[in-house]
Structure 1
């Protein structure tokens, strides 16, 4: 395979928010609460919960390999210059953390680092709802573009992003 990564980009101004707000509403109807790490509290306990959720959801990424230790994760996620807890969306079913959509601020764009939902809660539109909910942070940041990338074998994630209006690009996605 010549290119194992699919790089995608979303034009924030062209994002059809009303179309995707229905996913947010459906989550609420199903008792799923969407919030941010900032709203929950950017505490050591919540950072550990985010790590555990990220580790579990990342296990399904093709060719992901071994996940970071907590210390490595904390340095890469919370110690990064673009980290902002307002950009970490959490989906809660009661007190259970069932999904996350993590973004970071980069120079000139927002980078969608990871979106994942626990296996037992997939297929309900929670990923789209979290990414839609997170667009408030993107708009507040003033960014005109959101970028992400996926392994080419991660067909579900690629299809979800394309459904939301992401298009393929050759632009570098990391900061």
Structure 2
């Protein structure tokens, strides 16, 4: 399956945030607040909340299989050199965590590890808003590209990224 993933990348310099401002505005009008794990506080409680949100959102990824235990997740997400809580965007509806977009920095590129929204809040532009909001972290890190990959049957994620300007990555 590894060679069948849809690998995408975005040129940071050509990303036009203004084109997607309407999504951010709509989210705010709907009472959705965007923040980062750094702003909320990178605490054990917030890490557990992120895990629960990531686990729920990942259930819809084709062929995902069983999600990690919290211990495995913490080791893969938090205990790595590329982890930075400024790169974890959280969408809040009041105090309820409804979406996440985790991005890590890797020198000249950033990697969008996971973007997900709870089923109850989908179709409102939250994913695009979070990814647009997260571009400030990408720029702070000095990355020239954002990379991601998707299972080929994850058509909604692929379409959303293409809408943002992601193109097929050249290996």
Structure 1 residue 3: Cα displacement: 4.4
* Residue in 2 that maps onto 1:46: 46
1:58-109 deviation digits (Å, cap 9, x = unpaired): 0000000100000000000001110000000000000000000001111321
Distance in 2 between residues matched to 1:163 and 1:78, nearest whole Å: 30
Residue of structure 2 equivalent to 1:165: 165
1:115-126 equivalence runs, <5 A: 115-126=115-126
Q: Is the partner of 2:83 in helix, strand or coil?
A: coil
Q: What are the equivalent positions in structure 2 for 1:4-153 lying under 5 Å apart?
A: 4-153=4-153
Matched residue of 1:105: which SS?
Answer: strand
TM-score by length of 1: 0.95
Runs (5+) with no aligned partner, structure 2: none
C-alpha distance in 1 between matches for 2:2 and 2:129: 33
In the aligned structure 2, how far is the partner of 1:154 from the partner of 1:9?
16
CA deviation string 1:31-69 (max 9, x = no partner): 000000000000000000000000000000000010000
Q: 1:2 to 1:40 in 2, by over 3 A?
A: closer
TM-score, length-scaled by structure 2: 0.97
Distance (Å, rounded) in 1 between the aligned partners of 2:3 and 2:70: 30
Segments ≥4 residues shifted beyond 2 Å: 1-4
- Secondary structure (helix, strand or coil) at the match of 1:38 reads helix
Where 2:82 maps in the other structure, the secondary structure is: coil
3-state SS of paired residue (1:97): strand
Query: In structure 2, how many angstroms separate the alpha carbons of the residues matched to 1:58 and 1:70?
Result: 14
Question: What displacement does 1:25 show?
Answer: 1.1
Partner-residue secondary structure (3-state), 1:34: strand
- For these two proteins, the number of residue pairs brought into alignment is 171
Shift of 1:2: 9.3
Counterpart secondary structure, 1:134: helix
Gaps of 5+ in 1: none
